[in-house]
């Protein structure tokens, strides 16, 4: 009698767990639409990808055709005068639950590099990206949205 009761409870428990399982968020990898800090209009598209257990983000397109041939004049070192399209702006990010941190982000406009912290939100549809100096309290945040390119759109600056 106890065996049938245990089996019945186990079946109910498994069914409850399976029914209550939410769809996992799609993760951080993929295309993200960025925004301009001043105008708050869409600025470009960043592809986030994983390499050796860390996450990186590369600018793959701009919504302003005039920026297609821009270079990072203010960037220093190996990134100086490199094309903006194809520039890896996110580096060495590591996942800790729903947060990604431990890496850096480059602002191509100023050429400055900041520590970075990112958090997936809205079931993976939004990415809160915070660049900061020292502690996260001193910085600025942008909210990027997951991006699906129009049919036929070609990316530049591939991995």
SS3 24: coil
φ, ψ at 10 (rounded to 5°):
-65, -45
Question: Which pLDDT score is estimated for 153?
Answer: 58
Band of pLDDT at residue 15, cut at 50, 70 and 90: very low
Tokens of 120: 């997936």
Share of the chain above pLDDT 90, in %: 62
Confidence at residue 67, expressed as pLDDT on a 0 to 100 scale: 87
Whether residue 24 has pLDDT greater than 70? no
Burial class of 38 by CB neighbour count within 10 A (0 to 12, 13 to 18, 19+): exposed
| All structural domains of the chain | 30-146 (2.40.128.520)
In whole numbers, what is the pLDDT of the chain averaged over residues? 83
Rounded to an integer, the average pLDDT of 100-115 is 95
Phi, psi of 51 (to 5 degrees): -145, 125
Is pLDDT at 40 greater than 70 in this prediction? yes
What pLDDT is stored for residue 6 in this prediction?
A: 41
Q: pLDDT digit string (tens) for 61-104?
A: 999 988 889 999 999 999 999 999 999 999 999 999 889 999 99
What's this model's pTM, rounded to 2 decimal places? 0.78
pLDDT number for residue 154: 57
Task: Examine the pLDDT at 3 and tell me if it is beyond 70.
Answer: no
């Amino acid at each position: 009698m106890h065996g049938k009761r245990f089996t019945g409870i186990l079946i109910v428990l498994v069914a409850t767990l399976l029914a209550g399982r939410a769809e996992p968020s799609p993760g951080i990898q993929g295309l993200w639409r960025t925004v301009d800090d001043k105008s708050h209009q869409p600025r470009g598209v960043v592809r986030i990808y994983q390499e050796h257990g860390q996450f990186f983000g590369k600018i793959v397109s701009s919504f302003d055709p005039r920026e297609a041939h821009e270079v990072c004049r203010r960037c220093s070192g190996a990134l100086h005068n490199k094309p903006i399209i194809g520039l890896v702006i996110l580096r060495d990010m590591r996942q800790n639950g729903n947060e990604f941190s431990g890496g850096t982000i480059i602002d191509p406009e100023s050429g400055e590099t900041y520590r970075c912290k990112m958090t997936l939100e809205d079931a993976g549809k939004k990415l809160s990206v915070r660049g900061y100096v020292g502690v996260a309290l001193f910085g600025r945040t942008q909210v990027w949205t997951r991006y699906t390119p129009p049919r036929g759109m070609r990316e530049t600056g591939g991995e």
